Structure 1
Amino acid sequence: MRDLSMSILDLAMNSIRAHATVIEIKVAETLEWNELELEIKDNGVGMSSQVCKEATYPFFTTKSNHRVGLGIPLLIERAKQCEGNVLIQSREGIGTSVRAKMKLNHLDRPPFGNIHQTLYTIIQIAPTVNLIYMHQKGSLNYQFETLSVREVVGEELMNHPNTIAWVKREIETNDFSFTSY
């Protein structure tokens, strides 16, 4: 994956395939510790400990139409390159959490990419999923949740072009994230 938003999208797609009804995406930029932490957490079907372990291998996949599963292994490799790590926690019937940590200003850290487009894509693919996006940068906090939008526009209008356009403006206007260091 060329940027972190593509890793986030890949993990969110795994959550959607795991029948998640809630997907939480957390980004924390801790400037004083020079640390970037990403967490994608869901309430999907979860994985056994064996599948969780095998998910770290590039040639393992549970998708019948794919030969390889590179999302998690590539994220692990990126985190290691940036003096970080990835922790996967999952319980069958409960859900899965993938947490990646890396040095924020590391030379090899991939760019964030277009997180806004990633969020719109998730909403368009899975409009009934409650997507929660949180971004913390130092003392600044931003949160966006599709449940709040759904309460205003209703379920049937969640995927309407006007709703998506409003969501796009909301996120881009209010999110302070992803500045350079």
Structure 2
Amino acid sequence: MEELSLNILDIIENSLKANAKNIEVNIIEDDNKDLLLIEIKDDGVGMDEDLLKRVFDPFTTTSANKKVGLGLPLLKLEAESCDGGIFIESEKGKGTTVKICFRKSHVDTPPLGDIASTIVSVLATHPEVNLHYRHEVNQKVFEISTEDLRKICSETICTPLVLNGIRGFLNEQIKDLHGGA
């Protein structure tokens, strides 16, 4: 995928298919460590050891409608080609954690992309899910959750006007994390 926010959305969609009710998205950008780390945690059904061993095989999928699952195998290849990697921890009945790291300065490291739209897309299509988003850039942190948003918004967070406002707010916060640039 051209930008990592689409990979994040794909992993979140996998979490939702696994009946996750709570999802955490953590992004760390550290120039001193030359690191871009993305972590997605969920409390879905998790994977057994057999599936976990095969998860990077493109012919492994849990979807009845597809014969291949290319998202994770291609993301693994992309991360490894940028001096990084992907690590998955999962336990049946407890959930899954996916960590993807890249050498931030590597010429082939994809851009993070439109993470605000990714978050808003999840809020719009799955308002019942508790989503916690944390983004750190060189030790400067912004975080928000659907619980926070529900407290702030007197109306449902699923209206177009509110979702557009949330997208704008997230974009401003991300811009501020990067020094306003």
Report the TM-score when normalising by structure 1.
Answer: 0.93
Match of 1:118 in 2: 118
2:90 aligns with 90
What's the offset of the Cα at 1:72? 0.9
Counterpart Cα distance in 2 of 1:91 and 1:178: 35
Is residue 144–residue 171 contact of structure 1 (8 Å, CA) maintained in 2? Answer: no
Contact in 2 for aligned 1:34/1:104 (Cα 8 Å): yes
Please tell me whether residue 168 in structure 1 is matched to residue 160 in structure 2: no
Contact 1:26-1:40 within 8 A present in 2 as well? yes
Give the drift of 1:150. 1.8
Moved more, 143-152 or 35-44: 143-152
2:158 is matched with 159
Q: From the superposition, tell whether residues 10 and 51 of structure 1 become closer, same or farther in structure 2 (CA, over 3 Å).
A: same
Runs of 5+ in structure 1 lacking a partner? none
**CA drift at 1:48:** 0.4
TM-score calculated relative to the size of structure 2? 0.93
Give the match's secondary structure for 1:100: strand
Distance apart, 1:170 and its partner CA: 1.5
Displacement after TM superposition at 1:178 (Å): 6.7
Q: CA deviation at 1:158?
A: 2.5
Aligned counterpart, 1:129: 129
Q: Hey, what does 1:81 align to over in structure 2?
A: 81
SS of residue matched to 2:32: helix
Residue pair 2:137, 2:178 contacting (<8 A) in 1 also: no
Query: 1:95-117 CA distances to partner (integer Å, 9 max, x unpaired)?
Result: 00000111001011111121111
C-alpha separation between the residues in 1 aligned to 2:152 and 2:29? Answer: 31
What is the DSSP-based 3-state SS (H/G/I as helix, E as strand, rest coil) of the residue aligned with 2:19?
coil
Which amino acid counterpart does residue 31 of structure 2 have in structure 1? L
Give RMSD over aligned pairs: 1.6
The answer for the alignment partner of 2:143 in structure 1 is: 143
| Residue equivalent to 1:33 | 33
- CA drift at 1:139: 2.2
Confirm or deny: 8 A CA contact 1:29 1:138 kept in the other structure.
Answer: yes
Question: Which runs of 5 or more residues in structure 2 are unaligned?
Answer: none
Amino acid at match of 2:58: P
- C-alpha separation in 1, matches of 2:26 and 2:54: 24
- Structure 1 runs of 4+ aligned residues shifted over 6 Å read none
Distance 1:171 1:114 in 2: 10
- Paired residues in the alignment total 178
Cα distance, 1:39 vs. partner?
Answer: 0.4
Secondary structure of the 2:161 match is helix
CA drift of 1:73 comes to: 0.7
> Separation in 2 of the partners of 1:104 and 1:54?
28
* Conserved? CA contact 2:29–2:37, under 8 Å: yes
